[in-house]
Amino acid sequence: MTSTTTATTLHPQFRPPPHTRAPRRLRSYSLPCTSYSARTRFSVHAAAASTSAPAQREAGSSVPWGCEIESLESAASLERWLTASGLPEQRMALQRVDVGERGLVALTNVRNGEKLLFVPPSLVISADSEWSNREVGDVMKSYSVPDWPLLATYLISEASLEGSSRWSSYIDALPRQPYSLLYWTRTEIDAYLVASPIRERAISRIGDVIGTYNDLRDRIFSKHPELFPEEVYNMENFRWSFGILFSRLVRLPSMDGKVALVPWADMLNHNPEVDAFLDFDKSSQGIVFTTDRSYQPGEQVFISYGKKSSGELLLSYGFVPKEGTNPNDSVEFSVSLNKSDDCYREKLQALKRHGLSESESFPLRVTGWPVELMAYAFLVVSPPDMIQRFEEMAVAASNKSSSKPAVNYPELDEQALQFILDCCESNITKYTKYLEGAKGSPQVSINSKQANRTLLLKQLARDLCISERRILYRAQYILRRRLRDMRAGGELKALSLFSGLRKFFK
């Protein structure tokens, strides 16, 4: 959530039909060292979304715990358990909301600058939490597993213990399928995110999750099969637990940056315009956030998950803010050295010396682009007689130096801006091609559930592409104007030089 790893469109037409919860069947496994039962819930899976956050559910794949959040099915028992576990009386309630399906709503007037929540540390899940199944925890700790995979395994271990885990009411209230790109298939990612740099990040994140699971399985689970049975510690369950971590884990700056799941606080939805963050408050000894605006009773309360681009929000949280509403939006802009450049080798060596490669990405924002991109562009367009300057250009592009070196090569300005404009226009063409193609592409899904899902993923991808293209359009406009002014200035200079010469000869 806030400042972890790494906002929404409404789809009223895809509101799922009210669905019934089917009875819960219990399956138990007897194991030599521990015994537990794994739940299997057969519920009618709504592959469609509620009004505010589209479901991205893959038919047939889900874990046997958690809930369908749009139904608020476990909300009341979560609140009861929290109160019994020491959560003080709250000025917010968990309700169905317009943004984010389920969220916290003010019960009373809340003023700007007030502290809310006060979740005690005993209700926080972190790498130091006690494991209900001690043996499993001891084995994990003996391998010094880092926080993220440790917490992912912890969640699965606790979830598999059902009511014997102290977190069962919390786990019951977690989404059975978190909204996350982890649930998109490779075909969907390739087809719908073809124009966006988020495609690469989604592929690599999925690869990381699979790699982490394989690593845990090979190094630990396979060595202790009695403690880590495949029915529980499998890829599908890790996809869920990592999806939960990506969309709910918070970093608490006042607890030395500890990462934690904070039940109740993790019911708050994100608003890109809000500037309120969760943290540990030493004076009240609880997790709080300080409001940056007032709320009236019945109004949904928001926090910030961090200054994230729309692509990053889709990647971790599975939603895209409405076009133009995310002040932190940016798009990764890729630039490369020209292989046919006479100085390709020298430029590449200079880049490598400063930790860069022949292709680099820089964040482009509606407000402009970073000096590092400009420095990279200077390097790309600089002629052989500027070879002495390659090094300082690479330093400026790498942003490694503490004192920001001035990036000032007036003789290269026009070419560098033209280079960025060309890259920008070729990216715009990619987005437009995708957006126009997506409009008319035939519906290939085989059933209505799948059709709904396809429509929703396409809508999310479309929203993201429109937001990212908007940033590129803005950059294109600024670049064209600058180049036009520059060229007009050049022409003026030439004209005045010409008339000066004429006067001289007269």
Ligand X SMILES: C[S@@+](CC[C@H](N)C(=O)[O-])C[C@H]1O[C@@H](n2cnc3c(N)ncnc32)[C@H](O)[C@@H]1O
> Site size for ligand X, by CB under 6 A?
23
Residue 446 is classified by DSSP as S
Interacting residues of 223 by C-beta distance below 8 A, sequence separation 6+ = none
Place of tokens 């899940």: 125
Which residue stretch of 112-120, 193-201, 264-272, 283-291 sits at the interface with ligand X (rule: CB under 6 A)? Answer: 264-272
Long-range contacts of 110-114 (CB under 8 A, 24+ apart): 110/291, 110/294, 110/295, 110/301, 111/291, 111/294, 112/291, 112/292, 112/293, 112/294, 113/290, 113/291, 113/292, 114/290, 114/291
Question: Interface residues for ligand X in 65-84 (CB under 6 A)?
Answer: 69
Contact 192, 465 (CB under 8 A): no
Instruction: Examine residue 102 and tell whether it contacts ligand X (CB under 6 A).
Output: yes
Q: What angle do CA 125, 52, 72 make, to 5 degrees?
A: 50
Question: Which residues belong to the annotated binding site for substrate?
Answer: 248, 266, 305, 317
- Binding map of ligand X across residues 199-238, x = CB under 6 A, - = no contact: ----------------------------------------
Contact 187, 158 (CB under 8 A): no
CB of 95 to ligand X, least distance (A): 10
Kindly report the number of other CB atoms within 10 A of residue 139's CB atom: 19
Question: Which residues belong to the annotated binding site?
Answer: 248, 266, 269-270, 305, 317
Instruction: Examine residue 306 and tell whether it contacts ligand X (CB under 6 A).
Output: no
Question: Interface residues for ligand X in 3-22 (CB under 6 A)?
Answer: 7-8
Question: Interface residues for ligand X in 315-334 (CB under 6 A)?
Answer: 317-319
Which residue stretch of 55-63, 97-105, 162-170, 376-384 sits at the interface with ligand X (rule: CB under 6 A)? Answer: 97-105
Q: How are strands ordered across the β-sheet holding 279-281? A: 115-119, 286-290, 279-281
Which residue stretch of 55-63, 94-102, 110-118, 221-229 sits at the interface with ligand X (rule: CB under 6 A)? Answer: 94-102
Instruction: Examine residue 54 and tell whether it contacts ligand X (CB under 6 A).
Output: no
Instruction: Examine residue 172 and tell whether it contacts ligand X (CB under 6 A).
Output: no
Residue 90 is classified by DSSP as -
CB of 178 to ligand X, least distance (A): 6
- Choosing from 2, 3, 56, 269, the residue that interacts with ligand X (CB under 6 A) is 269
Interacting residues of 477 by C-beta distance below 8 A, sequence separation 6+ = none
Round to the nearest angstrom and report the end-to-end CA distance of the chain: 74
Nearer to ligand X, 239 or 347 (CB): 239
Kindly report the number of other CB atoms within 10 A of residue 168's CB atom: 20
CB of 463 to ligand X, least distance (A): 11
Instruction: Examine residue 247 and tell whether it contacts ligand X (CB under 6 A).
Output: yes
Which residue stretch of 136-144, 267-275, 327-335, 352-360 sits at the interface with ligand X (rule: CB under 6 A)? Answer: 267-275
Instruction: Examine residue 311 and tell whether it contacts ligand X (CB under 6 A).
Output: no
Nearer to ligand X, 172 or 372 (CB): 172
- Integer Cα distance of 370 and 497 in angstroms: 35
Kindly report the number of other CB atoms within 10 A of residue 40's CB atom: 12
Q: Which amino acid is at 107?
A: L
Question: Which residues belong to the annotated binding site for S-adenosyl-L-methionine?
Answer: 248, 269-270
Which residue stretch of 12-20, 29-37, 262-270, 415-423 sits at the interface with ligand X (rule: CB under 6 A)? Answer: 262-270
Contact 53, 63 (CB under 8 A): no
Kindly list the residues in this chain that would bind ligand X in the complex (CB under 6 A): 1, 7-8, 52-53, 69, 99-103, 175, 178-179, 247-248, 266-267, 269-270, 317-319
